[in-house]
């Protein structure tokens, strides 16, 4: 699975099955995306590879530690590695091909914009904050189990 920024300067490849997507409704993600939420995937570092443009990535960090990395040419948000170096945050909108995954959960749902209420009535999991790695892993495992059960 390949992906790239708006202008195509920054590109990458994911070499594993895609995990579920989450949508973050926090105020920082709304600002960086210019939308109601930021849709992203978490990809294990060994399953991620830069193809081009890595030297053209710029970064912005807030005092709280929120980090946004973006293409210096078009401004698109681009993947960035987490603090521990074991996974990449990947904006789902950068994926170039149709994907076999879906949104699994809404995070920071209590921080949603007052005008963004449609997601409140869907049946997806909602977290007031970012779920722990263990909570997210369990939710993903259950998702895979349900997906396999529905195929049978």
Helices then strands, counting H and E runs in the chain, come out as: 2, 11
Q: pLDDT tens digits, residue range 28-81?
A: 999 988 899 999 999 999 999 999 999 999 999 989 888 999 999 999 999 999
Q: What is the pTM assigned to this prediction?
A: 0.88
Residues 105/142, Cβ–Cβ less than 8 Å: no
All domains in the chain, ordered by first residue:
2-151 (2.170.150.70)
| pLDDT above 90: residue 149 | no
> How much is the CA Rg of the chain, to the nearest whole Å?
16
Mean pLDDT for 11-20 is 94
Q: Which residue has the higher pLDDT, 151 or 35?
A: 35
pLDDT at res. 137: 84
Residue 65's pLDDT is 83
C-alpha to C-alpha distance for 70 and 104, rounded to whole angstroms: 25
- The band of 2, judged by pLDDT with boundaries at 50, 70 and 90, is very high
pLDDT tens-digit series, residues 86-133: 999 999 999 998 888 889 999 999 999 999 888 888 888 899 998 888
For residue 148, pLDDT beyond 80: no
Task: Give the pLDDT confidence score for residue 88 in this predicted structure.
Answer: 94
The pLDDT-based confidence of 85 (bands split at 50, 70, 90) is very high
pLDDT above 70 for 152: no
- The terminus-to-terminus CA distance of the chain in angstroms comes to 26
Q: How far is residue 12's CA from residue 15's CA, in Å, rounded to a whole number?
A: 10
- Can you name the residues that pair with 71 across neighbouring β-strands? 57
The whole-number pLDDT of residue 97 equals: 86
């Amino acid at each position: 699975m390949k992906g790239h920024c708006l202008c195509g300067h920054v590109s990458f490849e994911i070499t594993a099955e895609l995990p579920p997507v989450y949508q973050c409704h926090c105020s920082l993600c709304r600002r960086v995306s210019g939308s109601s939420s930021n849709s992203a995937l978490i990809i294990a570092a060994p399953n991620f590879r830069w193809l081009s443009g890595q030297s053209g990535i710029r970064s912005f960090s807030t005092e709280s530690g929120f980090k946004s990395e973006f293409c210096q040419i078009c401004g698109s948000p681009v993947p960035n590695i987490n603090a521990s170096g074991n996974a990449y945050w990947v904006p789902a909108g950068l994926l170039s091909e149709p994907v076999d995954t879906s949104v699994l959960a809404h995070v920071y749902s209590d921080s949603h914009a007052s005008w963004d209420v449609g997601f409140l009535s869907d049946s997806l999991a909602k977290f007031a904050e970012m779920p722990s790695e263990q909570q997210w892993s369990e939710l993903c495992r259950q998702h895979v189990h349900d997906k396999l059960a529905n195929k049978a």
